[in-house]
């Protein structure tokens, strides 16, 4: 009887869930239909009568019109039919982006042939959800308009994070057509909930004939915004209970946004922050509800950043965070008890790596088991991280100041909006300053991120306090230096032979990665089990978490779970090394790669990531009668190829950093064969921007090849582009180079 009752309950609950799901779907469809009718009915001439004159057919696609509509309104001021789909809250927040695009070639056709989106996106907060609605129309050359029936063409699939995502195929879209589509994301907001930062970028990789913005913001909110790089100001209108901000621009040129640009600094843009209530910059400066402030002074942003730094420092000493401080101090005591005493110059370094251990490496019984490569991507709250460092160092009688640095890929001085425009870096107040920030699991002490190179940074003493008699002189500014190409280098050493069948290359490779190139390689290849144990020993932590769990009756089973997780992570690491070879040579290794990590590069005093790999490759040798052709140029991997539309450039070049790629290749010549074509391998392109140099020589039965590609600077003016092309083209051309193994 009980079994029957339970079965009946399950059936009823299942039926209820199906009915509820159907009801939600019906409401969504009704809301989507209303939204499409509203958007298609917009009275915007650029959409209703698109300008098809002077279409640049050399461009893959041309955006005829783009409009962004943002509404943040009290629910009492919104049409009831709009909000009845949602759980009623205080404010309606909706953003619509609509584009009308002329498709000129197959590249654009592929780009616009499908659209992926999430119908419902769960947000932070109780029952908070965002809903996505999409609409698509195709306009044929004869003017016929065909609206896509979204529900008929939708396919639901899982993304990489196992989350359901809807994919919309666009049938019957052809070259020469115009696609008119919009994406609307809307949700209900409670009082005090955060609002997304708005950024309106007046440019893209396609020309835009007309770009417009319309926002309606309730007077319950305060606005601050900044115009950058020559962007025009909004037309602002105060209306009862709200303020509107409007913008219209025309004929925006295509820009190489996918190739070495800094949009914040090179493309006209407007950034807008929206806050419930008022905005305070400290020292009594306030933007009241319903008010707005434009182009905030840098000094006001610095003031608010200093207040934020001071508050974070105080928080670091409060209950909870201070446990990290106490733990690091205890680690120092144990280390000095078991080893030699740390001198004062060494303390900042120990504190940095101990805090990194606490934040990224430490494992507690309640920690989620995460020992695979995904753990390598973890990042911390940098403000809290440096505040914990500052508090710990202060307890050890070492004062610190905070450096406020702008990002090369963010807004520059004179166009700042809020404290998030700065990176907060700690600088010890010592004779030889030590700089600290948290880039992640593998960050080094006294190492600047290349994103901040070349920037004039502001230094504040709000954390360190007043200067003491023996403190070094205080400087309110610091110039963050550019790194050199020889500091950021990837070196490859290959010893290559041919198998007996003359079908495969047998490769012994040693890879050394330095500087700014290092972290990406570490994240791809290193395992937590290995770097945890290395750092635990280096810091003098006596017992590993595995030993602690094994000795605990309560947590003993966790040791077994971690052992199994480590075994799975080893399999993942094997796949990562296989992928490392595949990515480099653009072909998969014939068998699993044998590998060994020589140096994990976990600290500044052992900074080079070094590993060995051994593998075999097919597809590099081609039989030509009794001879064999070797694609020797492919051994340096795929090279950057500049597209035809990118060969002319009018904007400055923001490269990630100066860097060097070096290949030293020794190829054993098979017995009974000689090599032809060695004389054609050497080449040299060397100018102010970069270089690509190759030397090849035959010594006995060894063909030795040295290839070196250098990007000399992190920034180049636009008029240097032709010089850069010389180096880039030379490298791309070399990948087609071959040599012939001919019967002697």
Mean pLDDT over 182-197 rounds to 87
The CA distance from 662 to 491, in Å, is: 5
pLDDT tens per residue across span 201-250: 999 999 999 999 999 999 999 999 999 999 999 999 999 999 999 999 99
Side-chain-side CA neighbours of 130 within 13 Å: the count stands at 17
**Is 144 a residue whose pLDDT tops 80?**
yes
259: how many CB neighbours lie within 10 A of its CB? 16
Give residue 2's pLDDT.
46
Side-chain-side CA neighbours of 653 within 13 Å: the count stands at 23
CATH topology of domain 489-518+562-743: Jelly Rolls (2.60.120)
**Is 497 a residue whose pLDDT tops 60?**
yes
- Percentage of residues in the chain having pLDDT higher than 90: 74
Show the 3-state SS of 312-365. HHHHHCCCCCHHHHHHHHHHHHHHHHHCCCCCCCCHHHHHHHHHHHHHHHCCCC
Of 132-136, 345-349, 516-520, minimum mean pLDDT range = 132-136
Residues 261, 255: contact at Cβ < 8 Å?
Answer: yes
Q: Characterize the bridge pairing of strands 120-122 and 489-498.
A: unpaired
The CA distance from 115 to 183, in Å, is: 10
Q: Could you tell me the end-to-end alpha-carbon distance of the chain, in angstroms, rounded to an integer?
A: 90
Mean pLDDT over 589-593 rounds to 95
**Is 543 a residue whose pLDDT tops 60?**
yes
**Is 125 a residue whose pLDDT tops 50?**
no
The CA distance from 67 to 181, in Å, is: 11
**Is 158 a residue whose pLDDT tops 70?**
no
Q: Do domains 55-293 and 489-518+562-743 have the same CATH topology?
A: no
Give the highest mean pLDDT range of 274-278, 296-300, 380-384, 658-662: 658-662
Q: Using 50, 70 and 90 to split pLDDT, how confident is the model at 30?
A: confident
Show the 3-state SS of 463-493. CCCCCCCCCCCCCCEEECCCCCCCCCEEEEE
Q: Characterize the bridge pairing of strands 208-218 and 154-158.
A: unpaired
User: Cα dist. 320→279, 306, 328, 384 in Å?
Assistant: 29, 23, 14, 12
The CA distance from 482 to 453, in Å, is: 5
Residue of 166, 213, 157, 172 lying closest to 32 (CA atoms):
166
Give residue 25's pLDDT.
77
Give residue 475's pLDDT.
87
Q: Is 381 left (phi over 0), alpha (psi -120 to 50) or beta?
A: beta
Residue of 94, 39, 93 lying closest to 67 (CA atoms):
39
The CA distance from 368 to 264, in Å, is: 38
Q: Using 50, 70 and 90 to split pLDDT, how confident is the model at 124?
A: very low
Q: Using 50, 70 and 90 to split pLDDT, how confident is the model at 56?
A: confident
Side-chain-side CA neighbours of 378 within 13 Å: the count stands at 16
Give residue 81's pLDDT.
56
The CA distance from 208 to 205, in Å, is: 9
What values do phi and psi take at 315, rounded to 5? Answer: -65, -35
Mean pLDDT taken over the chain: 90
Mean pLDDT over 341-350 rounds to 93
pLDDT tens per residue across span 447-486: 889 999 999 999 999 999 888 888 888 889 999 999 999 9
The CA distance from 701 to 498, in Å, is: 13
Higher pLDDT, 28 or 163: 28
Judged by DSSP in three states, 87 sits in: coil
Residue of 127, 57, 54, 118 lying closest to 89 (CA atoms):
127
Beta-bridge partner residues of 665: 494, 705
Q: Using 50, 70 and 90 to split pLDDT, how confident is the model at 166?
A: confident
Q: Using 50, 70 and 90 to split pLDDT, how confident is the model at 6?
A: very low
Q: Is 66 left (phi over 0), alpha (psi -120 to 50) or beta?
A: beta
pTM reported for the whole predicted model: 0.89
Angle at which helices 556-585 and 518-525 cross, to 10°: 130
**Is 412 a residue whose pLDDT tops 60?**
yes
Give residue 339's pLDDT.
92
DSSP 505-542: EEEEEEEEE-GGGHHHHHHHH--HHHHHHHHHHHHT--
Domain positions in the chain are 55-293, 305-479, 489-518+562-743
The CA distance from 219 to 205, in Å, is: 36
CATH number for the domain running over 55-293: 2.60.40.3140
Give residue 19's pLDDT.
54
Of 293-297, 580-584, 603-607, minimum mean pLDDT range = 293-297
**Is 421 a residue whose pLDDT tops 70?**
yes
Q: Using 50, 70 and 90 to split pLDDT, how confident is the model at 21?
A: low
pLDDT tens per residue across span 127-143: 456 788 899 999 999 99
Give residue 128's pLDDT.
53
Q: 325-328 — which CB contacts under 8 Å span 24+ positions?
A: 325/388, 325/391, 325/392, 325/395, 327/358, 328/354, 328/355, 328/358, 328/392
Q: Using 50, 70 and 90 to split pLDDT, how confident is the model at 14?
A: low
Residues 630, 741: contact at Cβ < 8 Å?
Answer: yes
Judged by DSSP in three states, 426 sits in: strand
Residues 507, 494: contact at Cβ < 8 Å?
Answer: yes
Residues 418, 271: contact at Cβ < 8 Å?
Answer: no
Beta-bridge partner residues of 274: 223
CATH topology of domain 305-479: C8orf32 fold (3.10.620)
């Amino acid at each position: 009887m009980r079994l029957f009752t339970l079965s009946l309950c399950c059936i009823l609950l299942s039926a209820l869930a199906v009915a509820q799901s159907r009801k939600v779907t019906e409401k969504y469809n009704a809301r989507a239909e209303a939204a499409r009718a509203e958007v298609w009915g917009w009275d915007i001439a650029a959409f209703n009568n698109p300008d098809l004159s002077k279409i640049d057919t050399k461009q893959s696609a041309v955006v005829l019109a783009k409009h962004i509509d943002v509404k943040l309104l009290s629910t009492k001021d919104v049409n009831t039919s709009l909000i009845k789909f949602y759980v009623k809250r205080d404010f309606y927040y909706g953003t619509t982006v609509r584009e009308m695009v002329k498709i000129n070639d197959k590249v654009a056709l592929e780009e616009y042939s499908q659209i992926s989106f999430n119908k419902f996106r769960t947000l932070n907060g109780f029952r908070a959800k965002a809903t996505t609605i999409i609409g698509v129309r195709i306009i044929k050359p004869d003017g016929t308009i065909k609206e896509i029936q979204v529900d008929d063409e939708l396919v639901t699939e899982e993304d990489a994070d196992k989350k359901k995502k809807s994919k919309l195929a666009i049938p019957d879209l052809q070259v020469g057509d115009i696609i008119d589509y919009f994406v609307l994301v809307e949700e209900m907001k409670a009082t005090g909930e955060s609002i997304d930062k708005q950024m309106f970028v007046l440019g893209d990789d396609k020309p835009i004939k007309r770009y417009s913005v319309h926002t309606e913001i309730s007077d319950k909110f305060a606005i601050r915004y900044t115009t950058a790089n020559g962007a025009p100001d909004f037309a602002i209108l105060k209306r009862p209970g709200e303020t509107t901000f409007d913008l219209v621009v025309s004929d925006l040129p295509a820009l190489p946004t996918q190739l070495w640009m800094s949009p914040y600094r090179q493309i006209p843009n407007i950034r807008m922050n929206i806050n419930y209530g008022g905005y305070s910059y400290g020292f009594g400066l306030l933007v009241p509800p319903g008010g707005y402030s434009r182009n905030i002074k840098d000094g006001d942003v610095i003031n608010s950043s200093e207040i934020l730094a001071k508050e974070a420092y105080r928080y670091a000493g409060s209950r909870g965070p201070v446990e990290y401080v106490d733990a690091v101090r205890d680690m120092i005591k144990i280390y000095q008890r078991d080893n030699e005493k740390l001198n004062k110059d060494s303390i900042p370094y120990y504190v940095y790596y101990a805090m990194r251990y606490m934040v990224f490496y430490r494992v507690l019984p309640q920690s989620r088991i995460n020992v695979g490569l995904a753990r390598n991507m973890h990042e911390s709250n940098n403000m809290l991280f440096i505040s914990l460092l500052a508090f710990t160092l202060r307890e050890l009688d070492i004062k610190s100041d905070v450096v406020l640095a702008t990002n090369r890929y963010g807004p520059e001085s004179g166009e700042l909006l809020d404290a998030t425009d700065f990176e907060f870096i700690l600088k010890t107040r010592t004779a030889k300053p030590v700089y600290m920030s948290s880039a992640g699991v593998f960050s080094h002490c006294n190492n600047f991120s290349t994103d901040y190179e070349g920037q004039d940074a502001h230094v504040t003493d709000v954390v360190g306090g007043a200067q003491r008699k023996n403190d070094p002189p205080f400087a309110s500014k610091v110039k963050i230096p550019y790194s050199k190409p020889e500091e950021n280098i990837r070196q490859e050493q290959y010893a290559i032979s041919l198998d007996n069948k003359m079908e495969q290359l047998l490769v012994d490779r040693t890879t050394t990665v330095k500087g700014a190139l290092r972290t990406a390689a570490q994240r791809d290849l290193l395992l937590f089990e290995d770097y945890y144990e290395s750092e635990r020993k280096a810091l003098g932590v006596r017992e590993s978490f595995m030993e602690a769990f094994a000795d605990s009756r309560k947590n003993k089973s966790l040791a077994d779970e971690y052992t199994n997780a480590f075994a799975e992570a080893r399999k993942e690491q094997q796949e990562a090394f296989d992928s490392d070879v595949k990515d480099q040579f653009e072909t998969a290794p014939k068998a699993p790669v044998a590998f060994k990590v020589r140096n994990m590069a976990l600290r500044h005093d052992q900074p080079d990531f070094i590993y060995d790999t051994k593998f075999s490759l097919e597809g590099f040798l081609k039989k030509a009668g009794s001879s064999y052709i070797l694609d020797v140029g492919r051994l340096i991997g795929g090279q950057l190829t500049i597209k035809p539309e990118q060969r002319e450039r009018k904007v400055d070049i923001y490269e990630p950093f100066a860097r060097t790629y070096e290949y030293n290749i020794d190829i054993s010549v098979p017995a009974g064969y000689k090599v032809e074509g060695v004389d054609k391998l050497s080449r040299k392109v060397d100018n102010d921007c970069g270089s690509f140099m190759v030397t090849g020589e035959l010594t006995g039965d060894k063909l030795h090849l040295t290839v070196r590609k250098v990007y000399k600077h992190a920034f180049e003016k636009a008029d240097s582009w032709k010089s850069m092309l010389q180096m880039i083209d030379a490298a791309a051309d070399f990948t087609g180079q071959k040599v012939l193994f001919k019967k002697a």
